[in-house]
Amino acid sequence: MSHLVAPSVLSADFGNLQRDIELINNSEADWFHIDIMDGAFVPNISFGFPVLKAIQKHAKKTLDVHLMIVDPDRYTQMFKDAGADILTVHLEACAHLHRSIQNIKNAGMKAGVALNPHTSVHLLEDVIADIDLVCVMSVNPGFGGQKFIENTYAKVAALKKLIIEKNSKALIEIDGGVDMNNYKKLLAAGADVLVAGNTVFGSADPAKAIKQLKQI
C-alpha cells in the first residue's frame, strides 16, 4: 500500500471552512484529520460537534478523528453519529484502553490509539493486534505548527517491529511537525499515514503541498 496523506483541519481557515474542505476533496489527500481538544487533556480547546458535523456535510473522504480529551468513552457514539470513520483515543487518557478500543469497534468505527512523545510503543503490546491505527505524536499535542521531535524516527521503527511481531494490521500515523524535509525519512522508518497541518495550509498552494507529500 502506498502511504496516505491526512491534512489537519485544525490549520484550515475557519472563516472559510467549506472552501478548505472542498480544497481537500479536490486534492490528492486521502483523509481529513480532525483534532478535538478539550482544554483538560491538552492546554487548548479546538472545536466540537457542530463544527465536526459541518465538516462532515461537505467532506467526501475518510474522517480521521483524533480525540485529545479525557475519558473519551463518554462520547464514542456521538462521534460515530457525527460521521467519524476512524476514532483515535490517547493511551494516556484511557483508564481501560482495551474497553475503549472495543467500544469504538462495536460502534462501527476503526479504532486508533495515540501516543504522546513520552509514551513507549511497548505499552501497546497487549492491544496492538486489536487496533487499526497508531497515531505517533511527533509533537506534544495541543497546537499546530510545532517543531518535530527527532526521537520519532526510532519510535516508528520500534513500532513497526512490534506490529510485524504481533501480526497486527495497524497503520502508523505521524502527527505533528511533518514537513517537506522529514516526510521521506518518516516513510522510510515505517510510517503509513502523514498528518500535515501547517505544511499544507501554511503553504501558498495547499493542493501542491499535498501532491508533494504524496510523492515517494
Residues at the interface with ligand DX5 (CB under 6 A): 8, 10-11, 33, 35, 66, 139, 141-146, 175-178, 195-199
Q: Measure the CA–CA gap between 123 and 21, rounded to whole angstroms.
A: 35
Of 126 and 205, the one with the shorter C-beta distance to ligand DX5 is 205
User: Pick from 197, 119, 103, 194: which is nearest to 159 by CA?
Assistant: 119
Chain positions 20 to 59 lying near Zn ion, rule: CB under 5 A, are 35
Burial category of 2 from C-beta neighbours within 10 Å (exposed 0-12, middle 13-18, buried 19 and up): exposed
Is 126 one of the catalytic residues? no
Q: Which does 112 bind (CB under 5 to 8 A by kind): Zn ion, ligand DX5, none?
A: none
Cβ-based nearer residue to Zn ion, 37 or 163: 37
52: closest CA among 15, 31, 27, 82?
82
Q: Which of 30, 130, 175, 192 is catalytic?
A: 175
Nearest CA-CA partner of 173 in 5, 1, 2: 5
| Catalytic site includes residue 71 | no
Q: Site residues for Zn ion, window 58-77 (CB under 5 A)? A: 66
139 touches, from ligand DX5, Zn ion, none (C-beta below 5 to 8 Å by class): ligand DX5
Place of cell 462532515: 56
Point out the residues that are catalytic. Answer: 35, 175
